[in-house]
Structure 1
Amino acid sequence: MFEIRIHSRGGQGGVTAARLLAMAALHDGKYATACPFYGAERRGAPVVSFVRIDDHPIKVYSQIRDPDLVVVLDASVMDTVDVLNGLKKGGRVLINSAHKKDFAGYTTFHVDLTGIALKEKLVVAGSPILNTPVIGALAKMGIVSADSAKAAIRGMFTDERNVNAAEAAYREMSA
C-alpha cells in the first residue's frame, strides 16, 4: 500500500487534492481512499489530508502516521508542524516551492504550484488554489498517470484552467 500525507492550509485545496488523487488512482484501476483531518479550522489554518493507494481493496480509513510520501502545499506549515514526522526511511517529499529544498535522507521534489495557480488565475478569496496543479506534479512522480489525473480533474471541474495548471506542474516539476 502506498500512503500519502498532504499538509496544507485551509482554503488552498489540500482536501480536494486528496480526493482528486484518489479519483485519479481509481481511473488507473487501483483502489484508493482519501481522508481529511481537521477540526473547526478556518481559512489559513493547518490542515492535513491522507490518501492510500493499493492494488487490493483498502480496509483502513484513518490518519497515516508513516507515509511513503509527504506533500507540502504551504512551506509555512513547517514552522508549526513537523511534516516529516513518521516519513518512511528513503521516503519522498513534494514541496510547493520555486526553489529546491533538501531534506536529509529523503528524495525531494519541488514545483512552484502557487506561481502556476496565479498564472492560471485559480484564486478564491485571494488565495491561490493548489489542488489541480499538485495532481499534475504527482502524475510526473508516477503516483498516478497523467491521463487519469486529467480525467479526475475534468470529472470534478468544468473550467479547463484546472487541467492547464496540472499540465504546467507536470512540465515544470523537478527533483
Structure 2
Amino acid sequence: MRELRIHGRGGQGSVTAAELIAVAAFEGGIYSQAFPSFGVERRGAPVQAFVRFSDRKIRLRSEVYEPDYVIVQDSTLVGDVNVFGGMKEGGIALINTEKELSVEVPEGVKVIVIDATAIALQHLGVPITNTTLIGAFAAASGEIALPALEKALRARFPGKLADKNVAAAEYAYNLIKGEA
C-alpha cells in the first residue's frame, strides 16, 4: 500500500484533490481511498487530506502518518506545519511555490517544486491549484495515469470548466515529465 498526504488551507481544494486522485486511481484499476482531516477550521486554516493506493482492498481507516508522497498546496505551510513528518525514504514531496525552498528535508526524500499557482491562473483564470497539482502528482508518482485523471476531472466538472482543469493538469503533467 502506498499513501499520500495533502497539506493545504481551507478553501484551496485539498479534499477535492484527494477525491479526484482516488477516483483516477480507481479508474486505472487500483483500489483507493480518500478522506479529509479537519475540525472546525475555517477558510485559510491548515487542513489535510489523505489518499491510499493498493492492489488489494483497503481496510485501514486511520490518518496517514508515514506517507510515500506529500503534496503541499501552499508553501507557507512548510514553516507552520511539519509537512515532511513521517515521510518514507524514497518519498516524493510536491510543493507549490514559485521559488526554491531552503528547508531541511528528510534524507532520501525528493522535493519537486512547481509554480502551480501560475499554471492555474494561466489555464483556469483563478489561483485554485488542486487540479494542476494532481497532474504534477500523476507525472511524479506514476500512481495515476493521465487518461484516468482526465476521466475523473470530466466526471467532476461540467463542460468548459472540465476542459480548463484538464488543460491545467496536462500542462503540469508534461512539465514534470519534461515535455512542457
Aligned residues: 171
2:173 aligned with 1:145, yes or no?
A: no
Partner letter of residue 8 of structure 2? S
Local SS of the residue matching 2:39 = coil
Q: Distance in 2 between matches of 1:53 and 1:104?
A: 23
Opposite residue 48 of structure 1, the aligned amino acid is Q
TM-aligned CA distance change 1:37 to 1:104, over 3 Å: closer
Asked whether 1:61 is paired with 2:61, we answer yes
Q: Deviations over 1:94-151 (max 9, x none)?
A: 111233447352111121111111112343xxxx211211111111121210111111
Give me the CA root mean square deviation. Answer: 1.6
Give structure 1 regions of 4+ aligned residues with deviation exceeding 4 angstroms. Answer: none
2:92 matched residue in structure 1: 92
Partner of 1:8, secondary structure, is strand
Quote the offset at 1:173 in angstroms.
2.5
Question: 2:42 aligned with 1:42, yes or no?
Answer: yes
1:173 alignment partner, SS class: helix
For 1:50 and 1:171, how far apart are their aligned partners in 2? Answer: 24
So what's the TM-score if we normalise by structure 2? 0.89
Of Structure 1 and Structure 2, the greater helix share is in 2
CA distance in 1, matches of 2:147, 2:120: 20
**1:24–1:152 Cα contact (<8 Å) kept:** yes
Note the residue ranges of structure 2 that are not aligned, 5 or more in a row. none
1:108 equivalent to 2:98? Answer no
TM-score when normalising by structure 1: 0.92
User: Using the alignment, how far apart are the partners of 1:43 and 1:104 within structure 2?
Assistant: 30
Quote the residue 2:135 is aligned against: 136
Q: State the identity as a percent.
A: 44
Whole-angstrom distance in 1 between the partners of 2:100 and 2:22 = 27
Asked whether 1:164 is paired with 2:163, we answer no
Give the residue type in structure 2 aligned to 1:35.
F
Question: Equivalent residue of 2:76, what SS?
Answer: helix
Q: Which residue of 1 aligns with 2:122?
A: 119
Give the corresponding residue for 1:82. Answer: 82
**1:24-39 equivalent positions in 2, closer than 5 A:** 24-39=24-39
